[in-house]
Structure 1
Amino acid sequence: MTVFNLNKRQQGQTYERMAEQFLSRHRLKLIERNFSCRGGEIDLIMRQGKCFVFIEVKYRTHRHFGSASEAVNWHKQQKIKRTALFWLQKNGFSIDKTECRFDVVTIEGQEHHIEWHTNILVEG
């Protein structure tokens, strides 16, 4: 069975697992998958050393409507940020004293080309 025979949710989970495996090979440790709250969802929450990494995973078969990384626009970034801040508070971490960053893992094409974009949050 190929990824394309799966429904959208199953496809998303498959690509998130690919991203998780890729990041694990780069020494990130999984904390939580698919954290969701009223404000949004974060695909992967991982840790690299003392830093919490909030990760959005995007897949695109082709670039007809833009690249996978272009899909994580300013509005999406702000939603991820609010959700991450909620997660930190919910888990007892000080927002001011906890190191964290926001990454995007893109997977493109049928060859599943993976790129890891670190610290993508655009302020302003």
Structure 2
Amino acid sequence: MNSRRLGKKALGDAGERSAAAFLAARGYRLLEQNWRCRSGELDIIAEKGARLIFVEVRTRQSDRKGTAAESVDVRKQWKLRQLAQIYLQQSRRQEEQVQFDVLALMWNGSEWSIQHIEHAF
């Protein structure tokens, strides 16, 4: 990527690609990216070992409005849990052990810094 500030859509898309590569390199098996239903979207659904992991990806270019990780507030966590329940029902995987992770990415204009928060909530 070029050494510059990115627009919001380009930043989000690049962050999600980087997040997927980060997880794959660490042994996660990616099942879904940008899974959508009427109620919303789950960024990444992956497996590692016996766990089904729902990963929320947050990207930032600065922390003026708070860090990427801080943006996954209680309301967002509630929404992600609801979406995960819909996914589990639709995929007939209600008996799976699940985990919620957050990948917080910061783009400094030339490279990513990535904070992986496992069992985030």
> Would the TM-score normalized by the shorter structure come out above 0.5?
yes
Query: d(CA) in 2 for partners of 1:65 and 1:105?
Result: 17
Answering whether residue 13 of structure 2 is matched by residue 13 of structure 1, we say: yes
Q: Where does the alignment leave 5 or more consecutive residues of structure 2 unmatched? A: none
SS at match of 2:55: strand
Structure 1 counterpart of 2:64: 64
C-alpha deviation, 1:7, in angstroms? 5.0
Query: d(CA) in 1 for partners of 2:101 and 2:49?
Result: 15
AA partner of residue 104 (structure 2): T
C-alpha deviation, 1:37, in angstroms? 1.4
Structure 2 counterpart of 1:103: 101
Structure 2 counterpart of 1:2: 2
Q: Structure 1's 47 and 109: CA in aligned 2 closer, same or farther, altered over 3 A?
A: same
Query: d(CA) in 2 for partners of 1:62 and 1:74?
Result: 22
Aligned length: 119
SS at match of 2:24: helix
SS at match of 1:86: helix
Contact 1:42 1:54 in 2 (8 A): yes
TM (norm. structure 2) is 0.89
TM (norm. structure 1) is 0.87
Q: Structure 1's 4 and 53: CA in aligned 2 closer, same or farther, altered over 3 A?
A: farther
Q: Whose RCO is larger (CA < 8 A, sep 6+)?
A: 2
After TM superposition, the structure 1 = structure 2 runs for residues 23-62 of structure 1, keeping only pairs within 5 Å, are 23-62=23-62
Q: Identify the range of structure 1 (5-14 vs 106-115) with the bigger mean alpha-carbon deviation.
A: 5-14
Q: Structure 1's 57 and 83: CA in aligned 2 closer, same or farther, altered over 3 A?
A: same
Q: Identify the range of structure 1 (104-113 vs 75-84) with the bigger mean alpha-carbon deviation.
A: 104-113
Q: Where does the alignment leave 5 or more consecutive residues of structure 1 unmatched? A: none
Query: d(CA) in 1 for partners of 2:22 and 2:46?
Result: 12
